[in-house]
Amino acid sequence: MTTSTQFVAQIRKDNEALFQASKMNVKAYFETKNNSTEELVEHFTGRMVNERMNMVAISTQIANMPSDADPIELQNLSKQAHDEAVHFRMVKECIERITGEEVDVAAAIAKEAAKPTAKGADLLSKYEASNDEAALAVYQMVAEGRAEAVWNQMADSIEDSFIASRYAKIAKDEGFHSTIGEMKLEQIATDAATQARILTIVDGMRKDLFNVSCANTVTAAGSKELVTEAYGW
């Protein structure tokens, strides 16, 4: 049987097609000529709310962990929750830089709930990650890993140095969050049945995340073909 270390390494390698396709979509989105200030604000508002959703979800996970939980795991998740709170603030500040006005967060959240943009954090609920350590670890490894790629691409695509520097910082943090998921998967993916179940979650989540990417940006030329060839969708 494949060791858990080898198993996680293969998932990491296979994620690259999704990450590359998502970067292609982001690059194409920011290169379009019709991205008005209003469109950009709407786009970034969805990302701001997504970061807040991540903060709440991870904080809930921490609160529900058993008393004998690994202290290092608690520490890492607590740092992630803090990072998500910082990201929420940073994206809020970027929106305010674009508009010149303070963001009404409550109104933004209500608007997203009424007419939601596609958000990766919705997958936490779909896959019941708060009650499933494997699903949470997959979300961290795949969704947060994709987020690292996407935020880096946005940082490269935005001319405003204030916004670009903050997006690069967010990308770095997302890479750490992905590593937390990898560490957890290495701990639990120690038998064939668990590995098979994890791969089912991984495949579904990759597909969902590509759909999120297309809904939030555009479907760039070649991006769908890239994931179809890689994953057989």
What mean pLDDT comes out for the span 172-184?
A: 97
Lowest mean pLDDT among 62-71, 87-96, 146-155: 62-71
Q: Assess whether pLDDT exceeds 90 at residue 231.
A: yes
Cα of 33 vs its chain's centroid, Å = 26
* CB neighbours of residue 167 within 10 Å: 26
Domains identified in the chain, total number: 1
Q: Assess whether pLDDT exceeds 80 at residue 36.
A: no
Give the C-alpha separation, 103 to 191, whole Å. Answer: 48
Contact (Cβ atoms closer than 8 angstroms) between residue 91 and residue 48: yes
- pLDDT tens digits, residue range 136-166? 999 999 999 999 999 999 999 988 899 999 9
Q: Which of 22, 18, 50, 26 is nearest to 158 (CA)?
A: 26
Domain enclosing residue 135, as ranges:
4-231
Lowest mean pLDDT among 29-38, 43-52, 104-113, 141-150: 29-38
Tokens of 216: 């939030």
Q: Assess whether pLDDT exceeds 70 at residue 34.
A: no
Burial call 109-120: b when 16+ CB within 10 Å, e when fewer: eebbeeeebbbb
Residue 121: strand, helix, or coil: coil
- Whole-prediction pTM: 0.90
Q: Assess whether pLDDT exceeds 80 at residue 118.
A: no
Lowest mean pLDDT among 40-49, 115-124, 169-178: 115-124
Q: How confident is the model at residue 112 (pLDDT cuts 50, 70, 90)?
A: confident
Percent of the chain at pLDDT above 90? 81
pLDDT of residue 35: 66
Q: Which CATH number fits the domain that encloses residue 45?
A: 1.20.1260.10
Residue 222: left (phi > 0), alpha (psi -120 to 50), or beta?
A: left
Tokens of 190: 């120690």
What mean pLDDT comes out for the span 169-190?
A: 97
Q: What is the mean pLDDT of the chain?
A: 93
Give the C-alpha separation, 115 to 96, whole Å. Answer: 21
Cβ-in-10-Å burial (0-12, 13-18, 19+) of 95 comes to: buried
Residues 6+ apart with CB under 8 A from 199: 11
